[in-house]
Amino acid sequence: MKTSDIALFFATLQAANPMPVTELEYTSVFELLTAVLLSAQATDVSVNKATRHLFPVANTPQKMLDLGLDGLQSYIKTIGLYHAKARHLLQTCQILVTQHGGVVPRTREALQALPGVGRKTANVVLNVAFGQATMAVDTHLFRLANRTGLAPGKTPLAVEQKLLQRIPSEYLVDAHHWLILHGRYVCQARKPLCWQCAVSPYCSFQNKTPPPAWPIRR
């Protein structure tokens, strides 16, 4: 993608969706962190179905701890990898209670010190909850960045760094949402819907070279 087209690319996405938001359901920073942690290798739809029952019962770190492992697992057993996620979530809740007064920290270092919280999860929380210009590169965003030529890279970190360099500052805070939603619903993996894509005039995709495979399981 030409540098001169990038602003037009994002202006088009902005015009179609002026106030993009995550599709995960939450009412607090802790609920957001929980939902994002549970969403690894799972769909937002499956996470929302589980948390609609979980959050009315346990919407704070202490209440989550009070459920215990078996109790928590009973709420999230429909989500993939729920055994490991339940352990990580309870460990995270314990750290939040003992080290952070039950409050989700606002720094990347503190977030990534929590069990089950990697760079992508931290980026989502920093962006959605605290309005920081971070880029959470999931499989959709990785594919779109490579396919369109917006930010080619062989690893999620390489794509993230290039996106932060190439996206104009006025679009950075919301860019994460626009790109993920566009990758999820339009620039799909097997068959991108190019004929209904509003940003196709700025895209470098030639229907010949597929984007690189997602290199990391999270």
Which residues are catalytic, by number?
A: 120, 138
Burial class, 121, CB count within 10 angstroms (exposed 0-12 / middle 13-18 / buried 19+) = buried
Residue 80 has a CB neighbour count (10 Å cut-off) of 15
Measured CA to CA, the distance from residue 92 to residue 207 in angstroms comes to: 44
Identify which of 83, 63, 64 has the alpha carbon closest to the alpha carbon of residue 73: 83
Give helix 156-166 / helix 139-148 axis angle, nearest 10°: 60
- Report CA torsion sign: 114, 53, 180, 129: negative
- Report CA torsion sign: 141, 202, 194, 177: positive
Amino acid at 146: N
